Amino acid sequence: MNTLTDTLTVTFKLNSKPVALAVPPLTTLRSALREHLHLHATKAGCGQGGCGSCTVLVNGEPTLSCLLPVALVEGQEVTTLEGISSYGSLHPLQEAFYEHFAAQCGYCTSGMILTAKALLERNPHPSREEIAEALSGNMCRCTGYLPIVEAIEDAARKMEEGQ
Amino acid sequence: MAKVRGRGIAAVNYPTGMNLGGDPSQALIFCQPTGNFSVKLASTDLGQGLKTAIAQIAAETLGASLDTIIVDTGDTDSAPHCMGTFASRGTHRIGNAVIMAAREARQALLDIAAEELEAVPEDLVAANGEIYVKGSPHRKISIPEVAGAAHFKYGRTISGRGIFLKPLSKVDPETGACDPDSTEAHATTVADVEVDTETGEVTVLRLASAYEVGQQVNPEMVNGQIIGGAVMGMAHALMESVFPYYPSLDHHPGSFSEYLIPTALDVPEIESVVLEYPSSNGPYGVKGVGEMTANSPIPAIVNAIYDAVGVWITDLPVTPEKVLRALEEKEAYGSAGSRRNQ
Amino acid sequence: MKQLGIVGQSVRRTDGIGHVTGTTRYVDDVFYPNMLWLKMVRSPVARGIIHSVDTSQAEAFPGVAAVITARDVPNNWYTILGLIGIGPNDEPVLADSEVMYEGEPICAIVAESEEIACEAASLVRVEIEEQEPVLDLEYALSPQAPAIKKWGNNTYMYDGMDHRQVRFGNIEAAFAQADHIIEGSYQMSPIEHVPMETHVCVVNPEGDGRLTVHTNTQALYFSLDNTAIILKMPTHRLHFIGGTVGGGFGGKVDVITEPITCIAAMKTGRAVKWRWTREEEFRRSSTRAGAKIEFRDAVMNDGRIIGRKVRSLQDAGAYHRHSPYGLQKHMANVAGPYNIPNVWIDAYCVYTNRQPASAMRGFGVTEASFAVEVQMEKIARTIGIDSWEIRMVNAYRNGQMRAIRKVVEDATLVETIKAAADLVGYELPAHLRAMHSNDYTREDNDQSHGEGAPRHDR
Amino acid sequence: MTTTDFFIPCSVNEAVDLLSEHGEELVVMGGGTIMMYLVNEGRLFPRKVMSLRRSGMDEVRAVDGHVEIGAGVTIARIAQLDALSILAQAARILGGPAVRNMATIGGNLFAHAPYGDLGVPLLALDARIELRSKRGQRTIPLEQFFAGHPGGEYLAAELVTALHVPLPQGHGVYLKLGRRHANTPSVVAVAAQITLDDNNVCRAARIALGAASPRPMRAVRAEAALVGERLDDASITAAAEAAMSESDPATDALASAWYRRRMAGLYVRKALEQVAHARSGAQ
């Protein structure tokens, strides 16, 4: 059992690299990423679990980092948008979002791309309906979603061709 | 069980620019020794793509290639005044200021190029990063070469200043006479809806619209405004209210599960066509498009509901409950109006 | 016209790579070492008299760096539209004697972390004598309603009048001549902008006495100028940085975060961040105005609208913000994009005890377009004319005079209607198909004036 | 920092010990989707928090005639429990995908209307809830838990550790009305589990409603209108009317009590018509 007072230490795998940090006990994964590790791709959109802007992957599954105390990812694998491509290159989903004008203000984009990544890993050939369903926890006020859905369709096609 | 379909239309105008004017924006452009152009603005990109549109306008006017345009915006220490991004004014006002600045910079560029090419500036054309003599395209010089010569050979600047202002006008308090816009964009939307007469739910099946927005700077970005606006308009029509029992303050929503906006699964089929009738005073004939796109879907949807089930819901948003109550009232008292079953 | 090169091309967005890689820098991505966080204490009631504000427990709470009340604000007025001549000032930056809406800012807590600021804020005791709020627009205009504005009523005063008006032609003559008089009343409740990024401001006090202000305002200089007035500070001491915003839709033009965050930074000598919660964004930030719009139209059997009388009430909420400006834009557009020779409009900017309304995408026009276009449909259905025809017959044409005395220049309404009909495969009859926005001749228009209507000099 | 202790017990026993030691001071979180919202908004300042995420309550087991579901099983996993089809259906359309990955079935039982949808099919399935404390373990009918909470039957020192769900008999239907096509709280939710004999006479009926009262409720009068009757238009109408009259919904931002009550009747009707339809299709 862990009894943690004032600050706790947590170690986990972040974008395939081990990381350790000491934070106040109830610090969320979102705050840990943004304020302690200074990875800013993950956005703070609501803190309520309602908008999906803070979505990251925990063990490959879309997770709301604003609602998850970082202490609970001890030993787990966390992927953020920073972790899906290296500097100067783009993941096929990033490429497709760029090509399809699927990011306008860009605030929901990180959550959208990571949610889509988890979807395509589970279901490489999703229908439009399945894509839209997978995105139903990720809100966007700018695009009207269609460019995002089209980008994901396109990325799925290209990822298959690339294999 | 009855699901009834209907179609409604709406045609709207939208004014470009801050009402009554008085809203200046400035731009400064300077050429770096390597031939890149820095466009200095204190303007804001809200996500609509202002930075991209401005880069395109600057490149067009300068005759430079797009990748040599550096739009540096958002710092009051390093850029002149901009009134702000609102009132469908951004591309119109800032674009005009950028054209003015870019023309001045281009003239400086052509003057130096003329000396290098032993020609007169009036005979020169700048396009795609090169300057050539009209009629003899082989007599040419690249913009980086001109920029280098300007700095290190002639000791001259290549820069430009631009401002756009529609002077402030007043409203005549007696007649209402005023000058409330620079130009007007227009839209017509056709909405197809399905009304569930048991639940009162309205599903928007399709929004088909024609927009006239003057010259488009970037058609894909215009399309982004169109789709995003259509979905926002649909949400205004059917879902959204800060006070669900307006004017009461009760049940004031505070979260995304109380104040609903559409999810990706709520988006109808959206089709559009864009007409371009360039305006007389916008940069390259631009009109503002960002705000208008959310407007025409709202009445088109309300009119489609009437077409489907013969009730006017004149109090937004059109909640299922309002539809159901109106249908019951109609059933109880009878009501004029057509009803079309499909 | 000159052939265009890059203008008109769908080039990729210059900020696209930044957006898809998460490297675009927004205001919330700005961090300073040793930065403090701000949390606002707000009014729990919609209207009331403040008797006392006890911040002692909050000040004593471990980790609290400063508490800011109205006394700390050098010029305690939001002056937003003072710069374009709209006044008098009506909204305090921090409430000190009364509150006019639920959620009105009263005092700010500045602390070592957001969590500490939140908990300390919960310890502030505010004693308020609650008063009956004014909520309904018609009630607000009635003599029974208490005046919630210092000038003695509940409307904005334009040139000494409680409304803006349009008077064009002779409306009564139009009603006398009309084949049909068709009325309609339309209502819209307030709407929130819902950008994914909430309001954020970060201020760092620099060694040279200047303040670096990172803000997601839609208007940097406008925010700078207003902040200087509120701080009674020379403008050269302010350096505003922004330009990249996670969605605005008109919701980020109220200068609502910068002044307080600046005061917090000056009071503590440290960088301060204020990020609104989503609940604040929904319940406290300004909204699109609620509205009630009434039409009374004089219509001929052939569908021509020869007179339109409009009474429009816009719900500004508790304070001006940008509403008095927006109402004028509303007034200019509420008769619709139609050629109507006799127009009478009375438009009121009405105050109520709810969170202030302000600018939003379509400011003043969204509700006008809604009301006008449903009314047009109602006219068509009532007199039995086709929905396309009613709009095309009345659509304004280039060269015609609008009710606000501006000659129509860039009209293309008829063209968009025709294009929309094509898009959905609806075949317009030949006489409508032949119409266009340049088919107006002066004689046509003169004949459509109501009897006794004054001729307008064009 | 306002939170001083964050406990992450590694077993149910540890969790029960902590609960008994710290009592009401200790805020218990399942998936965190309810509690962390309040913390982030600055409305809850817990000194001591316990997460059940590692306490081993995340198993699903089939045990003679019923399914035992650990309280810490996520909604996403519940969505795959085909043996409990109406529960799985409710889980599949609860919230968005990321919420389903985090929220747990145990935590969902503490969510009030218009959330907390899983209680609706669980009531229709006649689930029992397993509670543990220092005094031991007991199971009570879920209904009793909803009726008694807070206080009453459910004690502060008790921990919800599992759900015991009998394998369903007959036809099950789950329907939910929201205000949008996905990720929506309930305007109303209906779960029905109906057993018909060879003559189409209803032998057993369990009908539960969500968002029709503060907590998921059984529509006992609607059930009574069916049992012993042939499932036909008359009995369906009687059941729908009974459901309307016994529901006691609230007005909130999504819908008024008037509308919810109407929809409770309509959705009970729709659910029963689906049963009748499935039955006639099967014959």
* Domain identity same for A75 and A29: yes
Q: Give the domain-ending residue among A43, A59, A83.
A: A83
* Domain identity same for A118 and A79: no
Cβ of A67 within 8 Å of Cβ of D102? The answer is yes
Whether D4 has its CB under 8 Å from any CB of chain C: the answer is no
Picking from A110, D63, B258, the residue whose alpha carbon sits closest to that of residue C197 is A110
B170 in a structural domain: no
Cβ of D76 within 8 Å of Cβ of A63? The answer is no
Q: Give the domain-ending residue among A37, A63, A83.
A: A83
Laid out side by side, the sheet with D171-177 consists of D171-177, D188-196, D202-210, D217-218
Domain that holds residue A107: 92-162
Per-residue pLDDT of chain D (283 residues; tens, 9 = 90+): 478 899 999 999 999 999 999 988 999 999 999 999 999 999 999 999 999 999 999 999 999 999 999 999 999 999 999 999 999 999 999 999 999 999 999 999 999 999 999 999 999 999 999 999 998 999 999 999 998 755 444 566 899 999 999 999 999 999 999 999 999 999 999 999 999 999 999 999 999 999 999 999 999 999 999 999 999 999 999 999 999 999 999 999 999 999 999 999 999 999 999 999 998 876 5
The set of chains that have 3 or more CB pairs under 8 A with A is B, C, D
Q: Kindly identify which residue of chain D lies nearest to residue A133, measuring between CA atoms.
A: D182
* Domain identity same for A17 and A76: yes
CA atoms within 13 A on the CB side of D96: 32
Domains C30-131+193-283 and C164-191+287-447 share a fold: no
Q: How far is CA A150 from CA A102, A132, D98, in A?
A: 8, 10, 21
* Domain identity same for B51 and B142: yes
CB of B241 within 8 A of CB of C290? no
Contact residues on chain B for C326, CB-CB shorter than 8 A = 19
* Domain identity same for A57 and A97: no
Q: Give the domain-ending residue among A83, A102, A135.
A: A83
| Reported confidence tier of residue A116, pLDDT bands at 50, 70, 90 | very high
Q: What CATH number has the domain bearing residue B138?
A: 3.30.365.10
* Domain identity same for D155 and D244: no
Which two tokens mark C342? 């006799």
CA-to-CA distance for D131 and D71, rounded, in angstroms? 10
Q: What CATH number has the domain bearing residue D9?
A: 3.30.43.10
Cβ of D99 within 8 Å of Cβ of A72? The answer is no
Contact residues on chain D for C284, CB-CB shorter than 8 A = none
- pLDDT of B190 reads 98
Q: Kindly identify which residue of chain B lies nearest to residue D256, measuring between CA atoms.
A: B321
- Interface test mutation site (partner B, options A141, A149, A153, max chain B beta carbons within 10 A): A141
- pLDDT of C447 reads 46
- pLDDT of D155 reads 64
Please pick, among B291, B321, B329, B331, the residue that the annotation labels catalytic.
Answer: B291
Q: Kindly identify which residue of chain B lies nearest to residue D115, measuring between CA atoms.
A: B257
* Domain identity same for A97 and A79: no
Contact residues on chain B for D251, CB-CB shorter than 8 A = 245, 250-251
Q: How many CB pairs under 8 A join A and B?
A: 71
Cβ of A103 within 8 Å of Cβ of C246? The answer is no
- pLDDT of C455 reads 35
Contact residues on chain B for D181, CB-CB shorter than 8 A = 263, 265-266
A2 in a structural domain: no
Parallel, antiparallel, or unpaired for β C305-317 and C343-351? Answer: parallel
* Domain identity same for A97 and A142: yes
Which two tokens mark B112? 């130096």
* Domain identity same for A13 and A39: yes
Cβ of C381 within 8 Å of Cβ of B338? The answer is yes
Which two tokens mark A83? 């972790």
Could you state, in order of their start, the residue ranges of all structural domains in chain C? Answer: 30-131+193-283, 164-191+287-447
| Residue A20: its H or E element | strand A17-23
CA-to-CA distance for C360 and B87, rounded, in angstroms? 9
Across chain C, mean pLDDT equals 95
Q: How far is CA A160 from CA A79, A115, A123, A131, C85, in A?
A: 22, 18, 11, 16, 61
Q: What CATH number has the domain bearing residue D210?
A: 3.30.390.50
B291 is catalytic: yes
Q: What CATH number has the domain bearing residue A125?
A: 1.10.150.120
Q: A81 pLDDT exceeds 70?
A: yes
- Written as one letter, the residue type at A162 is G
Cβ of B258 within 8 Å of Cβ of D259? The answer is no
Q: C384 pLDDT exceeds 90?
A: yes
- pLDDT of A163 reads 66
A135 in a structural domain: yes
* Domain identity same for D148 and D182: no
Q: C83 pLDDT exceeds 80?
A: no
User: With pLDDT > 70 as the criterion, what percentage of chain D qualifies?
Assistant: 96
Whether B53 has its CB under 8 Å from any CB of chain A: the answer is no
Cβ of C122 within 8 Å of Cβ of D45? The answer is yes
- Interface test mutation site (partner A, options C14, C21, C112, max chain A beta carbons within 10 A): C21
Please name the fold of domain C164-191+287-447: Aldehyde Oxidoreductase; domain 4 (3.30.365)
Stretch C105-111: mean pLDDT: 98
CB of C253 within 8 A of CB of B84? yes
Domain that holds residue D72: 60-165
Cβ of A98 within 8 Å of Cβ of C16? The answer is yes
* Domain identity same for D106 and D66: yes
Q: C337 pLDDT exceeds 50?
A: yes
Number of folded domains that form chain D: 3
B313 in a structural domain: yes
Q: C252 pLDDT exceeds 50?
A: yes
A3 in a structural domain: no
Residues 256 through 285 of chain C touching chain B, CB cutoff 8 Å: 278-279, 282-283
User: With pLDDT > 70 as the criterion, what percentage of chain C qualifies?
Assistant: 96
Q: Looking at the complex, report in whole angstroms how far the Cα of residue A132 sits from the nearest Cα belonging to chain D.
A: 9
Q: Kindly identify which residue of chain C lies nearest to residue A42, measuring between CA atoms.
A: C22
A52 in a structural domain: yes
CB atoms within 10 A of CB D199: 7
- Written as one letter, the residue type at B250 is D
Q: Kindly identify which residue of chain D lies nearest to residue B266, measuring between CA atoms.
A: D181
Q: How many CB pairs under 8 A join A and D?
A: 109
CA-to-CA distance for B114 and D209, rounded, in angstroms? 83
Cβ of B320 within 8 Å of Cβ of D259? The answer is yes
Q: How far is CA A93 from CA A157, C30, C451, in A?
A: 10, 27, 66
Q: What CATH number has the domain bearing residue D114?
A: 3.30.465.10
Stretch A47-68: mean pLDDT: 98
Q: Looking at the complex, report in whole angstroms how far the Cα of residue B332 sits from the nearest Cα belonging to chain D.
A: 17
* Pick from B259, B265, B321: CB nearest D181: B265
* Domain identity same for A61 and A128: no
Contact residues on chain A for C197, CB-CB shorter than 8 A = 43, 45, 105, 107
Number of folded domains that form chain A: 2
Q: Looking at the complex, report in whole angstroms how far the Cα of residue D232 sits from the nearest Cα belonging to chain A.
A: 35
Q: B342 pLDDT exceeds 60?
A: no
* Domain identity same for D151 and D244: no
| Reported confidence tier of residue B337, pLDDT bands at 50, 70, 90 | very low
Distance of CA D132 to the CA centre of its chain: 19
Cβ of C365 within 8 Å of Cβ of B232? The answer is no
| Reported confidence tier of residue C85, pLDDT bands at 50, 70, 90 | confident
* Domain identity same for B209 and B278: yes
Contact residues on chain C for B271, CB-CB shorter than 8 A = 423
Domain that holds residue B125: 18-164
CA atoms within 13 A on the CB side of C243: 22
Q: B341 pLDDT exceeds 50?
A: no
Q: B339 pLDDT exceeds 50?
A: no
Stretch C113-126: mean pLDDT: 96
* Domain identity same for D152 and D132: yes
**ipTM of the assembly?**
0.96
* Domain identity same for D155 and D126: yes
Residues 6+ apart with CB under 8 A from D120: D90, D174, D189, D190, D191, D208, D209, D210, D216
Cα A10–Cα A16–Cα A17 angle in degrees, nearest 5: 55
| Residue A4: its H or E element | strand A2-5
**Whether the bond into B317 is cis, omega within 30 of 0:** yes
Q: Looking at the complex, report in whole angstroms how far the Cα of residue A129 sits from the nearest Cα belonging to chain C.
A: 23
- pLDDT of D24 reads 87
* Domain identity same for D19 and D79: no
- pLDDT of C456 reads 37
Number of folded domains that form chain B: 2
* Domain identity same for A121 and A149: yes
* Pick from C20, C25, C196: CB nearest A113: C20
**Whether the bond into D121 is cis, omega within 30 of 0:** no
CB of B189 within 8 A of CB of B209? yes
Cβ of B44 within 8 Å of Cβ of C14? The answer is no
**Each residue's pLDDT tens digit, D186-226:** 999 999 999 999 999 999 999 999 999 999 999 999 999 99
Which two tokens mark B239? 């879902």
Stretch C369-381: mean pLDDT: 98
Q: Kindly identify which residue of chain A lies nearest to residue C10, measuring between CA atoms.
A: A101
**Each residue's pLDDT tens digit, C409-457:** 999 999 999 999 999 999 999 999 999 999 998 665 554 443 333 333 3
Identify the CATH class of C30-131+193-283: alpha beta
* Domain identity same for A69 and A125: no
- pLDDT of D283 reads 59
- Interface test mutation site (partner D, options B198, B199, B242, max chain D beta carbons within 10 A): B199
Q: Kindly identify which residue of chain C lies nearest to residue A36, measuring between CA atoms.
A: C31
Q: Looking at the complex, report in whole angstroms how far the Cα of residue D41 sits from the nearest Cα belonging to chain C.
A: 6
| Assessment of whether the complete model's pTM goes beyond 0.90 | yes
